[in-house]
């Protein structure tokens, strides 16, 4: 946990410095229209840097005590089982769209993690995207990401 | 405004809320909200964030009735899983598990549920009455505010969140600043130039608050749930009308607990940025101290269910008061609703009362109706709601992820937002584990634009000098209060550290979840 605290504070300081640099690309001083557009983000980023640095120093001074690990030993596997499919489904939605990608993700998850029977897998992973399609595209006329594959199939481009 | 005028407006509002469309919308919202409250990993905040994109096509009045009904439903629903499964469906129902689940295990789930719903309803109803009579005068006062006062009020809001969160004050401050900073991404309103985008075109429209909220609250919460090991062992839900009657006969004994819980909940709810969670804990703690049976709390006392539930629902109502009158959300959930105001083309703030009479009074009227309908729904439908928890995790987890993706994409129609959602999910998990509170970041992100506007306008009014804040008594008072709220916990932490250095090693207190 202690190392996690250090790493997080370090990451926050580094990220905040990047944001300070980004804010400096705009005028931060007084302009004819009042404070410049960079004024507010600049001082916020400076504030984040200072607070994160204080947290960093404090965590450093607390030293490396023996404490509980960041993730409890038995929790790595269930975490991985949930997190990596989460990454995968966003990638799937990016390329295959929410209907196709969602169906694949649901089917894969139900079969591999939930160990459901194939019949159940088929029914749920077809029904859910279909319901979503009806709700969003039909009733609310809100286009959902269809992915490059389905776009080409539906609209030929 | 005269008392008679308020009654007149209230009757008008109930009339608006009782129109067939709005009644239907309220019933749908209550059902959805209760379902969302029952689902682990989905709370009122995420439920409203997910549904917000669907309200684009509704009238603003119907839209706010839908969202607020979801909120009331989620507060009712949160108690169900706490009592039956010992899984708080919502952070504010954690305290309900202390006595609710033992009661259920003793074979009295019906009594625990009836007590939770009834006290929730009573807390809500008294709060709504308070709301009706306090909101208009507060709005009148707020109308006289200029940019410096607005900035000071916003500052007070941030300070309250940072100060009352209970965790590490430095981390609360950091999260507030970070939220404001995220809010500056995109076009600058005054100069029109893109800011903080790192030259990514898709970021020019800004980082949508919904995307971040779904990631932090939805996905982050799933990861935490998984890590703690998901156990879904429930008690079979039965609720007979005899149980309800038996419970109601107990209620006269709890008058003081109910009054205390409601007053506390309403007041904490009105304070910006706090909401139902701390209110429920404080009410439970006070009831344990004052009740003659306090020593038996934790073993299945009905009073231990009544105390947190009245406070949670009263706070839920109170949290909407500063949102409607001042444009400041009193809780993360209210913050999501506030984001909706902008989408529907409304400007939150004191002018709402004058210019959007139908919207404001329709919402107030719907609170009366929706809570009566809500308590009837939950009392009759407990077995059906409990069935949601029998959905196996192998289906529930991917379902939540897919619904989150739909909600995040619908906000802006950008696939990039899905990656931002994923990143904030991971960040939410890490932040929460390390005791960085999430609520300040979310509230600051929503209020960022308003804060910057108020600050810049104030500085222009003062010709570049921040001394303008010193010349305005109301603004100065608010700012002093804000400073005190931030400084007090920081001073306390310093003293603790100083004492700790002499004795044992200092240990920053872990922030409470939720």
Q: Which helix (H) or strand (E) holds A35?
A: strand A34-35
Q: Is the pLDDT of residue B237 over 70?
A: no
Could you read off the pLDDT of B338-355 as tens digits, one per residue? 888 888 888 877 788 778
Mutate which: A2, A22, A44, A121, vs B, most B CBs within 10 A: A44
- Longest CA span, chain A: 69
Which two structure tokens, joined as six digits, stand for A59? 């965590």
Show residues of chain A in contact with B421, CB under 8 Å. 90
Q: Which among A98, A2, A40 has a CA at the least distance from the CA of B186?
A: A40
Cα distance between residue B230 and residue B86, in whole Å: 11
- Chain B residue numbers with beta carbons less than 8 Å from the beta carbon of A115 are 394
Q: H/E element holding B195? A: strand B194-195
Q: What does the pLDDT look like over B370-379, one tens digit per residue?
A: 999 999 888 8
Closest CA in chain A for residue B444: A44
Question: Which range is least confidently modeled, A94-103, B64-73, B144-153?
Answer: B144-153
Report the alpha-carbon distance of residue B93 to residue B308 in Å, rounded.
Answer: 8
Residues from chain B contacting residue A122 (CB–CB below 8 Å): none
State ipTM. 0.91
CB B280 within 8 A of CB B315: yes
| pLDDT score of A150 more than 80 | no
Q: Is the pLDDT of residue A86 over 50?
A: yes
- Assess B418–A contact: CB distance below 8 Å, yes or no: yes
Beta bridge partners of A35: A30
Tell whether A19 is within 8 A of chain B (Cβ).
yes
What distance, in Å, lies between the first and last C-alpha atoms of chain B? 38
Torsion over CA of B99, B101, B106 and B110, rounded to 10 degrees?
Answer: 100
Q: How far is A132 from chain B (nearest CA, A)?
A: 9
**Which chain A positions have a beta carbon within 8 Å of B398's beta carbon?**
85, 89, 105-106, 109-110
The DSSP bridge pattern shows strands B186-187 and A34-35 to be unpaired
Report whether pLDDT(B293) > 90: no
Q: Of B174, B422, B452, which is closest to A87 when you measure between CB atoms?
A: B422
Contact across the interface for A65 and B505, Cβ inside 8 Å = yes
CA distance B30 to B117: 14
Contact B102, B115 (CB under 8 A): no
Inform me whether the C-beta atom of residue B423 falls under 8 Å from chain A C-beta atoms.
no
Q: Give the residue-averaged pLDDT of B359-382.
A: 87
**C-beta neighbour count of B343 within 10 angstroms:** 15
The greatest distance separating any two alpha carbons of chain B, rounded to the nearest whole angstrom, comes to: 70
If one compares B210 and B419, the residue with the highest pLDDT of the two is B419
Residue B43, pLDDT score: 67
- Tell me: pLDDT of B505 over 60: no
For B113-130, b/e burial (b = at least 16 CB within 10 A) is bbbbbbbbbbbbbbbbeb
3-state secondary structure of A34: strand
- Contact partners, residue B180, CB within 8 Å, separation at least 6: A40, A44, B444, B445, B447, B448, B451, B452
CA dist B158 and A45 (Å) reads: 17
| Dist CA B178 CA A6 (whole Å) | 18
- Contact B72/B370 with Cβ under 8 angstroms? yes
% pLDDT > 70, chain B? 86
- Name the residue among B110, B91, B108 with its Cα closest to residue B44: B91
Give the pair of three-digit tokens for residue B490: 């920081």
Partners of B194 in beta bridges: B187
Q: Is the predicted pLDDT of residue B77 greater than 70, yes or no? A: yes
Chain A neighbors of B426, CB-CB under 8 A: 83
Cβ–Cβ under 8 Å, residues B374 and B30: yes
Say if residue B165's pLDDT is above 90: no
Distance from CA of A51 to the nearest CA of B (A): 6
Question: What part of B 335-374 touches A (C-beta under 8 Å)?
Answer: none
Q: Which of A100, A82, A88 is nearest to A148 (CA)?
A: A100
Helix (H, G, I), strand (E, B) or coil at B361: helix
Taking contacts as CB-CB distances below 8 angstroms, the residues of chain A near B226 are: 75, 78-79, 81-82
> Hey, are the CB atoms on A142 and B452 less than 8 Å from each other?
no
- What is the C-alpha separation between B329 and B210, in angstroms, rounded? 15
Nearest Cβ partner of A37 from B173, B191, B230? B191
pLDDT in tens, B464-493: 888 888 888 888 988 998 888 777 766 776
pLDDT mean across residues, chain B: 81
Q: Cβ(B337)–Cβ(B213) under 8 Å?
A: no
A23 contact residues in B (CB cutoff 8 A): 195-196
Is B393 at the interface with chain A, CB within 8 A?
Answer: yes
**pLDDT for position B242:** 78
Residue among B182, B163, B184 nearest B493 (CA): B163
Cβ–Cβ below 8 Å for B227 and A78: yes
| Residue B46 near residue B403 (C-beta atoms within 8 A) | no
User: Does any CB of chain B come closer than 8 Å to the CB of residue A122?
Assistant: no
Give the C-alpha separation, A125 to A49, whole Å: 46
Q: Does the beta-carbon distance from B229 to A109 stay under 8 Å?
A: no
The owner of tokens 């000071």 is B152
Collapsed DSSP state (helix, strand, coil) of residue A31:
strand
Interface check for B405 against chain A (CB to CB < 8 A): the answer is: yes
Q: How many CB pairs under 8 A join A and B?
A: 166
Residue B317, pLDDT above cutoff 60? yes
Please name the member of B178, B397, B464 whose beta carbon is closest to the beta carbon of A109. B397
Give the span between the Cα atoms of A35 and A38, in whole angstroms.
8
B398 touches chain A (CB under 8 A): yes
């Amino acid at each position: 946990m202690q190392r996690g605290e250090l790493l997080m504070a370090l990451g926050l300081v580094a990220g905040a410095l990047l944001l300070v640099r980004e804010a400096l690309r705009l005028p931060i001083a007084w302009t004819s229209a009042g404070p410049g557009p960079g004024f507010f983000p600049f001082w916020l980023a400076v504030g984040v840097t200072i607070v994160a640095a204080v947290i960093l120093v404090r965590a450093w001074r607390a030293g490396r005590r023996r404490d509980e690990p960041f993730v409890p030993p038995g929790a790595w596997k269930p975490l991985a089982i949930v997190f990596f499919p989460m990454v995968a489904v966003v990638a799937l939605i990016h390329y295959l769209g929410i209907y196709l990608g969602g169906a694949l993700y649901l089917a894969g998850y139900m079969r591999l993690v939930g160990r459901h029977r194939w019949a159940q897998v088929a029914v749920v992973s077809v029904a859910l995207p279909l319901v979503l399609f009806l709700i969003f595209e039909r009733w609310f006329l809100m286009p959902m990401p269809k992915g490059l594959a389905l776009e080409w199939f539906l609209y030929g481009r | 405004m005269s008392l008679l005028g308020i009654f007149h407006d209230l009757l008008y509002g109930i009339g608006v809320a009782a129109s067939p469309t709005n009644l239907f919308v309220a019933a749908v919202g209550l059902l959805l909200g209760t379902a969302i409250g029952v689902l682990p990993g989905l709370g009122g905040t995420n439920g409203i964030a997910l549904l917000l994109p669907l309200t684009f096509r509704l009238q603003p009045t119907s839209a706010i009735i839908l969202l607020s009904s979801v909120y009331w439903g989620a507060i009712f629903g949160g108690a169900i899983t706490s009592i039956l499964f010992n899984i708080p469906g919502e952070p504010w129902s954690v305290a309900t598990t202390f006595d609710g689940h033992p009661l259920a295990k003793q074979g009295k789930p019906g009594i625990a549920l009836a007590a939770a719903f009834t006290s929730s309803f009573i807390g809500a109803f008294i709060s709504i009455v308070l709301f009706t009579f306090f909101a208009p005068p507060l709005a009148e006062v707020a109308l006289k505010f200029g940019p410096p006062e607005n900035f000071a009020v916003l500052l007070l809001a941030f300070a309250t969140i940072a100060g009352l969160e209970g965790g590490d004050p430095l981390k609360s401050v950091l999260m507030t600043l970070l939220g404001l900073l995220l809010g500056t991404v995109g076009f600058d309103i005054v100069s029109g130039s893109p800011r903080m985008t790192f030259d990514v075109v898709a970021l020019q429209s800004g980082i949508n608050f919904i995307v971040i909220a779904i990631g932090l609250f939805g996905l982050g919460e799933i990861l935490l749930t998984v890590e703690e090991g998901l156990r879904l062992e429930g008690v079979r839900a039965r609720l007979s009308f005899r149980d309800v009657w038996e419970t109601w006969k107990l209620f006269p004994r709890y008058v003081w607990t109910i009054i205390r819980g409601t007053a506390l909940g309403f007041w904490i709810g009105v304070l910006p940025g706090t909401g139902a969670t701390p209110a429920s804990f404080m009410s439970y703690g006070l009831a344990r101290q004052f009740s003659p049976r306090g020593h038996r709390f934790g073993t299945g006392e009905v009073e231990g269910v009544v105390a947190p539930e009245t406070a949670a629902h009263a706070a839920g109502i109170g949290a909407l008061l500063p949102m409607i009158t001042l444009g400041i959300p009193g809780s993360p959930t209210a913050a999501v609703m506030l984001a909706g105001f902008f989408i529907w083309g409304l400007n939150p703030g004191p002018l709402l009362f004058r210019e959007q009479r139908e919207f404001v009074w329709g919402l107030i009227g719907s609170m009366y109706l929706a809570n009566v309908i809500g308590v009837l729904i939950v009392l009759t439908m407990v077995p059906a709601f409990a069935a949601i928890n029998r959905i196996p995790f192998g289906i529930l987890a991917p379902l939540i992820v897919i619904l989150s993706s739909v909600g995040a994409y619908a906000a802006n129609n950008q696939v990039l937002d899905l990656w931002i959602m994923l990143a904030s999910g991971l960040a939410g998990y890490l932040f929460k584990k390390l005791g960085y509170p999430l609520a300040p970041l979310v509230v600051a992100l929503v209020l960022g634009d308003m804060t910057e506007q108020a600050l810049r306008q104030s500085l222009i009014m003062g010709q570049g000098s921040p001394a303008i804040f010193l010349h305005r008594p109301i603004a100065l008072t608010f700012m002093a209060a804000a400073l005190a709220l931030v400084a007090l916990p920081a001073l306390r932490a310093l003293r603790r550290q100083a004492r700790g250095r002499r004795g044992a090693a200092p240990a920053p207190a872990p922030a409470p979840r939720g």
